[in-house]
Each structure stands twice: as C-alpha cells, then as structure tokens.
Amino acid sequence: VTAEKGGFEYFMLKEIHEQPKAYRDTMLGRIDEQGEKVILPELKLTPDQIMNIRNIQIIGCGTAYHAGLVGRNVIETLVRIPVETDVASEYRYRSPIVSPDTLVIVVSQSGETADTLAALREAKANGAHVLAITNVVGSSIARDADDVIATLAGPEIAVASTKAYTSQLIAFYLLGLYLAEVRGTQTPEAVKEMIQAMQALPEQLDMMLEQSESIKAYAEQISHHEHLFFIGRGLDFAVAQEGSLKLKEISYIHSEAYPAGELKHGTLALIEDGTPVIALVTQESVLEKTVSNIKEVSARGADIMVITYEEHAATLLKSVDQVFVIPKTLPLLSPALAVVSLQLLSYYASLALGNDVDKPRNLAKSVTVE
Ligand code: G6P
C-alpha cells in the first residue's frame, strides 16, 4: 500500500506533491512552440461562436465550484464577458437566464457528480453551449457536454481534492487566454507574459513543497483550536474559501472564509484573544485595504498568519504573528501557488489530530445522488 502511495503516508500528500506534474501535463500541447499562444485543438466551439458569447455561467460542487470562482475572475479580467458562478444544486432552481449565446462551463473532477450533471442537462435543454472541465474523459459529464477540456491530473484517490482543483485552475487560465485571443481583448505581449508566468509555476511549486515543514509546525498549533478564519479580497477570497473547505473536510475544525472587508459588518464580533486568522495577501491592487483589515483583527487580539510575497513579509510582520512566503507570480496566477500552502495546512492539521486523512467521516469522493 505504501508503494501505491509512492512512499507518502497518505494519498493526499502524494497528490499534493504531484501538482507540478499535473500543471505541466495540463499545459502540454496547449501552448504553441514559441510560447505566444494558447491552442485548444479539442474545442468544437468556433471563433464565430466565441465572438457571440454574451454571458458565461460556471457551475460545480465543492472544490470544483471553488475553482469556478477563480475561473470567473480570470475570464472577466482577461475577456471582459460577464460571468456568474453557481453551486450546481442551486443552479436549476433559480431560473437561470440562458440563451444560445450563453456558454456554460461545468467543472467536475469525477465527471459523475449528480448535481453537476443535472445542471448541465438543464443548461443544454435551454440552448446553452456546454463546456466541461473534467479529469475523467469517459465520464457522464464529459459525454453529455458539447465540449471538453480535460485536466490531466491523473487519478485522484484522496477524498479531499488537491491536484484536480489546481489543474482546473490551469484549464481556466488556458481557456481565458484562448477566449481573449479570439476576441482580441489582450495584447500579444500580455498573453506572452502570462504564458511565461504559467510555465514557471511547476518549478515555483516544487520550491514551495520543499518548505512544507514551516506549515506543518503552524498546522500543529492551530489543530488545538475550535474555530478559525480565513480572510482575503478578490482572488485571495476565492482561495480562502477553498482553504476553509479543505480544513473542515479533513480536520473537522470549524472555519469560515470571509471577504476581508466584510468582517466588520458582523463577524468581527467572533474575534477574541487568540482566535487564529489566516490572511491571504497576494492581490497587490487591494493590498493596503487588506492590511487595514488585518489591523482590525489584530486589535481584537487575533493570532494572525499571513500568506504573501517576500517583498511584503517584513512590513506585514510588524502587525502579524507569522508569515508564510510564496514565490512571486502574476495576480491572476497566485491562487495556483497560494492554495497549496492551505492544502498542506489542512493535511498536517488532520494528521496532528490523528484523523484518516484520505477518508474523512461522512464524505464521499464522488456524490452520485442529488
Ligand atoms: C464531493 C467531494 C468533493 C468534490 C465534490 C465535487 O463532495 O467530496 O471533494 O469537490 O464532490 O466533485 P467533482 O467530482 O464533481 O469535482
């Protein structure tokens, strides 16, 4: 069994370490040789159809939904098409506005999640073009969709999704760049810069994984707490939501992810002396604002850990207790690195508590009932 796990104690840790490869594999053959353009030969969606897209809806459950939150920001930023995101079990019941000019993107690791499949069928019945981002090409969702972008993460065994999620992010980066090229919304220089930054991600991630010991010590510290908070703005908030879910799934510690600026409208009442708060600070455009939110929780006695870039570490250390540094990348790409520190955090917290990391109580890898 240990051989199956490649020498790792749990599949989850093995899968966390497989992410640099999953990034490379998911990009392979989808970027031209000059590194200037994204090519998605598998797409049936024509340039004409792409020009006509009026709105995009991204649907998924759990971690796949969280990848969609990042996808929304990526597509809106790169392509300037309005994007909505929905949890699949809610989508059908809110009379979504769909037309033949709607692109619906369903995200599913397994391709078998009943809620996501039902949402896909509803969108198709209403005339939308449905594109699936999935890790299983022979799955029900892949079969029913009009288009498929396969994530090449390889089989994911641990219930808590890691490499499938980050490969879904890579798929959204590729798709966003492709749509931007067709619609002419980004300069060739900007596209090239982003491609280069994407190609650097696997190596940057390898560097991060080598430093996982510092996260382990912090995880052991928080494992004794009952509640904690994740805060961030923009893409940092999207990552915070995934970090919070991961921690709940396998450590059973209660946590909430909050948009940093929203805390003062209610949740700040829960912060007391010693409450752990994990703040993500990678989005430079809102950095100052997040820092003032950090000061708000610090003034209430929170014990704060920040995930940020080296260049901000020294300043932030003045107002927080600990800093975990991630390698520098473009704002849109930071989720693909930042989230890995949160995956490690939940893994080591679960391990410290003696839980079965790969098979958390009450949860299933793939949920085929609605
Ligand atoms: C289950 C799993 C989650 C997963 C969700 C969606 O609840 O426990 O980890 O995110 O299903 O799965 P999918 O295969 O559709 O991505």
Mutate to test the pocket of ligand 1, among 86, 109, 248, 343 (most ligand atoms within 8 A of CB): 109
Residues 12-38 have pLDDT tens digits of 999 999 999 999 999 999 999 999 999
CA separation, residue 192 to residues 117, 126, 148, 278 (Å): 35, 37, 24, 33
Q: Give the bridge partners for 230, in sequence order.
A: 257, 278
CA–centroid distance, 293 to ligand 1, in Å, is 32
Cβ(202)–Cβ(23) below 8 Å: yes
pLDDT band of residue 73 (cuts 50, 70, 90) is very high
- Among 75, 212, 184, 90, smallest CA distance to 131 is for 75
pLDDT band of residue 234 (cuts 50, 70, 90) is very high
Q: Cα angle vertex 174, ends 173, 176, to 5°?
A: 65
What is the predicted pLDDT for the residue at 286? 95
| Residue at token pair 């927080």 | 320
Cβ(223)–Cβ(355) below 8 Å: no
Q: Which two tokens stand for residue 220?
A: 């052991």
Tell me: pLDDT of 229 over 90. yes
Rounded Cα distance between 229 and 255, Å, is: 5
| Residue at token pair 């280069």 | 196
* Atom from ligand 1 closest to the CA of residue 61: 6
Other Cβ atoms closer than 10 A to 272: 10
Mean pLDDT of 197-218: 95
CA–centroid distance, 61 to ligand 1, in Å, is 6
What is the predicted pLDDT for the residue at 4? 86
Pocket of ligand 1 (CB under 6 A): 61-64, 108-110, 113, 116, 159, 161, 363-367
- Would you say the pTM of this structure is higher than 0.95? yes
Residues 260-306 have pLDDT tens digits of 999 999 989 999 999 999 999 999 999 999 999 999 999 999 999 99
* pLDDT mean across residues, the chain: 96
SS3 state at 303 = strand
- Among 207, 150, 142, smallest CA distance to 174 is for 150
Q: In percent, how much of the chain has pLDDT > 70?
A: 99
Residues 129-180 have pLDDT tens digits of 999 999 999 999 999 999 999 999 999 999 999 999 999 999 999 999 999 9
Tell me: pLDDT of 3 over 90. no
Rounded Cα distance between 298 and 271, Å, is: 9
CA–centroid distance, 62 to ligand 1, in Å, is 5
CA–centroid distance, 39 to ligand 1, in Å, is 28
- Among 147, 204, 161, smallest CA distance to 67 is for 161
Mutate to test the pocket of ligand 1, among 11, 367, 370 (most ligand atoms within 8 A of CB): 367
What is the predicted pLDDT for the residue at 197? 98
SS3 state at 83 = strand
* Atom from ligand 1 closest to the CA of residue 164: 16
Rounded Cα distance between 167 and 179, Å, is: 18
**Can you say whether residue 259 is alpha, beta or left, with left for phi > 0 and alpha for psi between -120 and 50 degrees?**
beta
Give me the active site residues, please.
Answer: 365
| Residue at token pair 């692109």 | 103
Q: Give the strand order in the sheet containing 147-150.
A: 83-87, 55-60, 102-108, 129-134, 147-150
Residues 80-125 have pLDDT tens digits of 999 999 999 999 999 999 999 999 999 999 999 999 999 999 999 9
* Atom from ligand 1 closest to the CA of residue 116: 15
CA–centroid distance, 193 to ligand 1, in Å, is 33
Cβ(151)–Cβ(133) below 8 Å: yes
Atom 5 in ligand 1: residue holding the nearest Cα: 62
Rounded Cα distance between 188 and 363, Å, is: 45
CA–centroid distance, 300 to ligand 1, in Å, is 36
Tell me: pLDDT of 53 over 70. yes
Mutate to test the pocket of ligand 1, among 15, 59, 61 (most ligand atoms within 8 A of CB): 61
* Atom from ligand 1 closest to the CA of residue 64: 16
